């Protein structure tokens, strides 16, 4: 971009900001001549420069706005809110054009006719609303622009008036007719020129004066932000190097370097402070737009709102300033829109008609605190409570039990807006959750206090800077990590016994911290760190404070606090929520910086999910066919007892025989609002003469079916070791359970029998037992516990030693641990990492890349199969087809075997 244009843009942006403020001031004091003069001058300067730079569109708008301002200045027009709005509109247009100019380097295409028509109408003395006749614009703007030289003020004004005089005669008639009715302006109409000239001279004089004064006001230098950023980076490096040097010094008892290093230490600290200062900006910069927003809001909503700003001079890092700008704007808008009531409601509530929104910023202990408070109606607790329930965020009982403080916190949830109507301003339910996320992103927190009827106060706590933070260095399983000091509340040392003991609730560690129960996460468990030796019982709890909740991070050791330079995480690792960056320590090693909010999120997820991984402490446990399985034993007729894995059974029900209905030869029962097919285990199930029959309900997602049996016998834990295959349909074979020969039920068979549409056809051939030679190790990855439990016995029965996992990530972990399998079966649709990704990962150089991989899906389109093969699957199978599954498995294995042998030769 042209240097001149770039400078113009910087300048204009500054002008526009002060114009906003001046105009607001003008609205308060319509008679402030000085203010009008200063506004006029600013607009004039903008106009002049654009003429010079050849920006016709910008110039035209500025010019017409200046005309109107000229009228104010002459006293020909009285400043009214409508006029101010019009000028604001022009400023917005100018801003829009300037923004486009910044982006593209040229003026955007488009027409300003509408705006110009309005401005001209006001200028010509017509009432604004009546002036919406764009066609009557005296001249096309471009011509006008071309005609104005753009530098000399008087000439311009003259030219403008010449343009006005060049109006067609009928237009003049119109004006004079209107003038009589609208305002008493006729007398001035004839003499603005003189007045304007006079004022302009005065202005010019003043301007000169300003110029002379300028240097003494503030000696500033415009420096490119990039230069400051570079400086900051270099200082950061210097801080690191200093830390290294000091570390070396500490290990030496006597050194000639000691004195100069101390000095260097001081200088670097001061330099760091100084450079940080250059990045500091008063928070008022982020607020400059707010008065305007509140003003527009109050007009739009018919409210009276005062915005009071305190502590504008409080300085903070410009990077942070940028990041909090939008959240702040949003919150102030919210206060005006949701918080402040309409004047008559306020009077009715015994409050002054004009509502107040107060913004306050101040330093407190290394943080910046920003408070946004209003004296409006406060948060409607009951409304939010109702909303929580209707949005399904909590049940009615849970919601009723919540304290009002707890209820209020829900406004930070996504999708909860209490504004009954969605206004153009707010109420779309995306807002406070985004605000909170943004604030947490910069390591801050947000709190809310609200009293219904009295008002609300939001308190935002943010760090001073992001570039250098002080962090606590901790160690877990031999690895060091940094935790930002900002979120560390206290440190506790634990011991085996006594008060400082970690207690367990169903495997979840907690800690009694004074009168509260603190949830704990252990860092090694969270990060899946491998330990050489078991952790000592003397551990440390880093009590961590986040927006979501407080918790303790259990670590092995705590080192000191260090000033660290935060470096962004490389892209490869961005997906890991737990780290907010990395840094280089004084000893030169690289360590990761933990993100407490990420830790809270991940830990919270773990706590609520039914993950099969043991979260903390113990090694992961896997469900393998070598483990004991809970079995439900039942009988049908007087035959041998039957067994089915308990985990497959969703529920046990007693169904009244009178409730059983028949439809197209299929028994049905109405069950939980839908029809559930029933199937007797076999023909020997006696249906007559009984009022109720026990039914085993199997269900997966929405589908369920009931298996009618004669009697439920027992639940027992046994190894399933099917020893004899069965040719009888519906049975896998026989096993010894509780010292009795028991038939193991093939649930798949019954599922197929009831849900033919879903399950693929079933060959009637009896199942051929697996090859007797040594058991093949098989890994099954499927997120559905139902299928896992169903397939483990089936595959175990076919002679495989089955390991079942519920997600691909833990599978990859096993791969890393060096576990080996002969064949892997993976589901495709899985949360977090789907089967395709899993296959890619496995095939791209993991220890399993040579292991055959079979995809198992509930639906397989040709595209899916193609994709699967591309991802690295050797075979693609549909679920529920036991025989094909078994035969494909053995086929795949033998093919693979041959291929390997071929390779060996």
Partner 1 sequence: MSAQIKDSHDKSMDFLTILIAKQRFGIPVMQVQDVLGEQSVTTIPLAPPEVAGSLNLRGRVVTAIDVRCRLGLDPCNDDEATGMSVVVEHDSELYSLIIDRVGDVLTLNDAQFESNPPTLDPLWREVSGGIFRLEKELLVVLDVPKLLNTVHG
E strand or H helix at 344, and its extent? helix 343-348
Q: If binding is defined by CB under 8 A, does position 572 make contact with partner 1?
A: yes
Stretch that binds partner 1, among 91-99, 358-366, 571-579, 671-679 (CB under 8 A): 571-579
Stretch that binds partner 1, among 553-561, 657-665, 730-738, 846-854 (CB under 8 A): 846-854
Stretch that binds partner 1, among 406-414, 507-515, 608-616, 845-853 (CB under 8 A): 845-853
Stretch that binds partner 1, among 234-242, 326-334, 539-547, 747-755 (CB under 8 A): 234-242
Q: Among residues 449 and 813, whose Cβ is nearest to partner 1?
A: 813
Q: If binding is defined by CB under 8 A, does position 843 make contact with partner 1?
A: yes
| CA distance from start to end of the chain | 67
3-state secondary structure of 603: helix
Q: If binding is defined by CB under 8 A, does position 531 make contact with partner 1?
A: no
Q: How far apart are CA 795 and CA 588, in angstroms?
A: 52
| Bridge partners for 369 per DSSP | 362, 461
Q: If binding is defined by CB under 8 A, does position 734 make contact with partner 1?
A: no
Please state the φ and ψ torsions of residue 296, each to the nearest 5 degrees.
-60, -40
Place of tokens 């415009």: 222
Is residue 164 a contact partner of residue 118, using CB atoms and an 8 Å limit?
A: no
Place of tokens 């992103």: 441
Tokens describing residue 591? 């360590």
Stretch that binds partner 1, among 317-325, 442-450, 578-586, 727-735 (CB under 8 A): 578-586
The vertex-36 CA angle with 30 and 39, nearest 5°, equals: 130
Residue list 860-899, contact with partner 1 (CB under 8 A) = 870
Q: Which of 891, 883, 830, 887 is nearest to 857 (CA)?
A: 830
Query: For 858, left (φ over 0), alpha (ψ -120 to 50), or beta?
Result: alpha
Least Å from the CB of residue 840 to partner 1? 9
Least Å from the CB of residue 610 to partner 1? 21
Least Å from the CB of residue 813 to partner 1? 10
DSSP classification of residue 567: B
Stretch that binds partner 1, among 317-325, 436-444, 579-587, 791-799 (CB under 8 A): 579-587
Least Å from the CB of residue 481 to partner 1? 9
Q: If binding is defined by CB under 8 A, does position 702 make contact with partner 1?
A: no
Q: Cα 749 to the chain's mean position, in Å? A: 45
Q: How far apart are CA 113 and CA 455, in angstroms?
A: 44
Q: Which of 162, 214, 396, 573 binds partner 1 (CB under 8 A)?
A: 573
Sign for the pseudo-dihedral over CA of 623, 626, 630, 635:
positive
Q: Which of 206, 304, 441, 567 binds partner 1 (CB under 8 A)?
A: 567
Stretch that binds partner 1, among 3-11, 438-446, 538-546, 810-818 (CB under 8 A): 810-818
Least Å from the CB of residue 52 to partner 1? 38
Site size with partner 1, rule: CB under 8 A: 36
Q: If binding is defined by CB under 8 A, does position 590 make contact with partner 1?
A: yes
Q: Cα 446 to the chain's mean position, in Å? A: 15
Q: If binding is defined by CB under 8 A, does position 576 make contact with partner 1?
A: yes
Q: If binding is defined by CB under 8 A, does position 627 make contact with partner 1?
A: no
Least Å from the CB of residue 561 to partner 1? 20
Q: Which of 62, 469, 584, 709 binds partner 1 (CB under 8 A)?
A: 584
| 844-876 core/surface letters (b: 16 or more CB in 10 A; e: else) | eeebbeebbbbbbbbebeeebbebbeebbbbbb
Q: Cα 162 to the chain's mean position, in Å? A: 57
Tokens describing residue 518? 């603190």
3-state secondary structure of 793: helix
Q: If binding is defined by CB under 8 A, does position 902 make contact with partner 1?
A: no
Q: Among residues 34 and 607, whose Cβ is nearest to partner 1?
A: 607
Stretch that binds partner 1, among 95-103, 106-114, 412-420, 837-845 (CB under 8 A): 837-845
Least Å from the CB of residue 847 to partner 1? 8
Q: Which of 81, 260, 352, 588 binds partner 1 (CB under 8 A)?
A: 588
Q: If binding is defined by CB under 8 A, does position 592 make contact with partner 1?
A: yes
Tokens describing residue 452? 């219904």
Q: Which of 845, 862, 901, 904 binds partner 1 (CB under 8 A)?
A: 845
Q: Cα 522 to the chain's mean position, in Å? A: 25
Q: How far apart are CA 706 and CA 653, in angstroms?
A: 9
Please state the φ and ψ torsions of residue 234, each to the nearest 5 degrees.
-65, -40
Is residue 363 a contact partner of residue 382, using CB atoms and an 8 Å limit?
A: no
* Cα distances (Å, whole numbers) of residue 686 to 232, 658, 682, 693: 84, 14, 9, 9
Query: For 416, left (φ over 0), alpha (ψ -120 to 50), or beta?
Result: beta
Q: Which of 184, 421, 506, 571 binds partner 1 (CB under 8 A)?
A: 571
Q: Among residues 245 and 419, whose Cβ is nearest to partner 1?
A: 245
Q: Which of 219, 589, 658, 664 binds partner 1 (CB under 8 A)?
A: 589
Q: Which of 142, 266, 528, 531 binds partner 1 (CB under 8 A)?
A: 528
Residue list 472-501, contact with partner 1 (CB under 8 A) = 479
Q: Which of 816, 832, 866, 895 binds partner 1 (CB under 8 A)?
A: 816
Q: If binding is defined by CB under 8 A, does position 903 make contact with partner 1?
A: no
Q: Among residues 239 and 432, whose Cβ is nearest to partner 1?
A: 239
Q: Is 306 exposed, middle or buried, given 0-12, 13-18 or 19+ CB atoms closer than 10 A? A: middle
Tokens describing residue 314? 């409080």
Q: If binding is defined by CB under 8 A, does position 372 make contact with partner 1?
A: no
Q: If binding is defined by CB under 8 A, does position 578 make contact with partner 1?
A: yes
Least Å from the CB of residue 780 to partner 1? 21
Q: If binding is defined by CB under 8 A, does position 281 make contact with partner 1?
A: no
Least Å from the CB of residue 841 to partner 1? 8
Q: Which of 812, 441, 467, 718 is nearest to 596 (CA)?
A: 441
Residue 313's Cβ-side half-sphere holds a number of Cα atoms within 13 Å equal to 0
DSSP classification of residue 620: P
Q: If binding is defined by CB under 8 A, does position 844 make contact with partner 1?
A: yes
3-state secondary structure of 20: helix
Q: If binding is defined by CB under 8 A, does position 611 make contact with partner 1?
A: no
- Footprint of partner 1 (CB under 8 A): 237, 240-241, 479, 527-529, 567, 570-576, 578-579, 582-584, 588-592, 812, 815-816, 841, 843-847, 849, 870
């Amino acid at each position: 971009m042209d240097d001149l244009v770039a400078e113009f843009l910087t300048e204009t942006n500054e002008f526009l900001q002060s114009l906003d403020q001046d105009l607001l001031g003008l609205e308060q004091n319509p008679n402030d001549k000085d203010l009008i003069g200063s506004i006029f001058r600013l607009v004039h300067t903008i106009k002049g420069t654009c003429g010079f730079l050849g920006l016709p569109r910008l110039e035209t708008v500025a010019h017409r706005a200046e005309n109107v301002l000229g009228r104010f200045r002459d006293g020909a027009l009285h400043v009214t809110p409508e006029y101010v709005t019009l000028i604001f509109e022009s400023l917005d247009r100018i801003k829009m054009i300037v923004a486009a100019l910044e982006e593209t380097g040229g003026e955007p295409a488009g027409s300003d006719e509408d705006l110009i028509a309005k401005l001209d109408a006001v200028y010509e003395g017509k009432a604004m609303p009546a002036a919406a006749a764009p066609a009557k614009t005296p001249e096309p703007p471009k011509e006008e622009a071309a005609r104005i030289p753009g530098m000399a003020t008087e000439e311009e004004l003259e030219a403008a008036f010449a343009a006005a005089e060049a109006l067609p005669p009928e237009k003049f008639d119109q004006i004079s007719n209107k003038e009589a009715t609208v305002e008493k302006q006729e007398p001035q109409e004839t003499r603005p020129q003189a007045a304007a000239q006079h004022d302009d001279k005065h202005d010019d004089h003043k301007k000169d004066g300003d110029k002379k004064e300028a240097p003494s006001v503030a000696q500033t230098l415009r420096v490119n932000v990039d230069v400051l950023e570079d400086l900051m980076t270099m200082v950061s490096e210097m801080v690191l190097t200093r830390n290294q040097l000091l570390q070396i010094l500490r290990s030496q008892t006597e050194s000639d370097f000691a004195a100069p290093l101390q000095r260097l230490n001081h200088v670097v600290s001061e330099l760091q402070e100084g450079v940080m200062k250059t990045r500091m900006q008063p928070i008022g910069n982020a607020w400059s737009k707010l008065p305007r927003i509140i003003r527009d809001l109050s007009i739009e909503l018919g409210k009276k709102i005062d915005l009071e700003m305190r502590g504008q001079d409080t300085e903070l890092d410009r990077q942070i300033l940028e990041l909090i700008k939008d959240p702040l704007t949003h919150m102030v808008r919210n206060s005006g829109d949701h918080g402040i009531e309409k004047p008559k409601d306020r009077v009715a509530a015994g409050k002054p008609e004009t509502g107040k929104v107060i913004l306050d910023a101040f330093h407190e202990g290394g943080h910046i605190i920003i408070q946004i408070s209003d004296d409006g109606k406060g948060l409607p607790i009951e409304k939010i409570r109702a909303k929580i329930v209707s949005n399904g965020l909590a049940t009615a009982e849970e919601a009723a039990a919540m304290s009002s403080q707890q209820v209020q916190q829900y406004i930070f949830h996504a999708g909860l807006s209490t504004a009954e109507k969605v206004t153009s301003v707010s109420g779309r339910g995306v807002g406070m959750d985004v605000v909170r996320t943004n604030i947490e992103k910069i390591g801050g927190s947000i709190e809310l206090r609200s009293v219904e009827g009295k008002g609300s106060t939001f308190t935002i706590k943010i760090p001073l800077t992001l570039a250098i933070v002080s962090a606590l260095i901790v160690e877990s399983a031999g690895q060091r990590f940094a935790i930002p000091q900002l979120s560390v509340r206290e440190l506790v040392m634990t011991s085996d016994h006594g008060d400082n003991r970690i207690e367990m609730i169903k495997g979840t560690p907690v800690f009694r911290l004074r009168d509260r129960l603190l949830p704990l996460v252990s860092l090694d468990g969270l990060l899946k760190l491998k330990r050489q030796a078991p952790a000592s019982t003397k551990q440390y709890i880093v009590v961590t404070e986040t927006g979501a909740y407080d918790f303790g991070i259990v670590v092995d050791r705590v080192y000191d606090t260090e000033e660290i330079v935060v470096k962004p995480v490389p892209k490869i690792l961005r997906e890991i929520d737990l780290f907010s960056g990395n840094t280089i320590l004084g000893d030169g090693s690289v360590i990761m910086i933990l993100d407490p909010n990420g830790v809270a999120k991940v830990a919270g997820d773990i706590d609520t999910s039914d993950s099969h991984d043991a979260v903390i402490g113990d090694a992961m446990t896997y469900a393998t066919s070598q483990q004991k399985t809970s079995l439900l034993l039942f009988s049908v007729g007087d035959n041998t007892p039957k067994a089915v894995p308990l985990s497959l059974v969703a529920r046990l029900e007693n169904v009244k025989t009178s409730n059983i209905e028949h439809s197209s030869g299929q028994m049905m029962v109405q069950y939980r609002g839908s029809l559930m097919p029933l199937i007797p285990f076999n023909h020997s199930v006696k249906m007559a003469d009984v009022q109720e029959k026990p039914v085993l309900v199997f269900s997966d997602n929405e589908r369920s079916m009931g298996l009618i049996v004669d009697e439920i016998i027992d639940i027992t834990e046994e190894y399933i070791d099917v020893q004899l295959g069965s040719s009888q349909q519906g049975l896998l074979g026989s096993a010894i359970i509780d010292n009795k020969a028991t038939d193991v039920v093939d649930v798949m068979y019954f599922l197929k029998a009831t849900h033919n549409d879903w399950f693929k056809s079933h060959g009637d051939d009896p199942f051929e037992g697996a090859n007797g030679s040594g058991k093949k190790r098989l890994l099954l990855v499927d997120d559905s516990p139902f299928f896992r439990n169903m397939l483990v016995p089936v595959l175990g029965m076919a002679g495989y030693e089955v390991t079942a996992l519920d997600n691909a990530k833990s599978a990859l972990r096993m791969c890393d641990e060096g576990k080996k399998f002969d064949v892997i079966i993976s589901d495709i649709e899985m949360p977090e990492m789907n089967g395709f990704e899993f296959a890619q990962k496995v095939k791209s150089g993991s220890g399993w890349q040579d292991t055959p991989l079979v995809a198992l899906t509930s639906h397989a389109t040709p595209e899916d199969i193609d994709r699967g093969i591309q991802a690295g699957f050797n075979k693609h199978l549909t679920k529920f087809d036991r025989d094909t599954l078994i035969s494909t498995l053995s086929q795949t294995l033998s093919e693979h075997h041959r291929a390997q042998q071929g390779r060996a030769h």
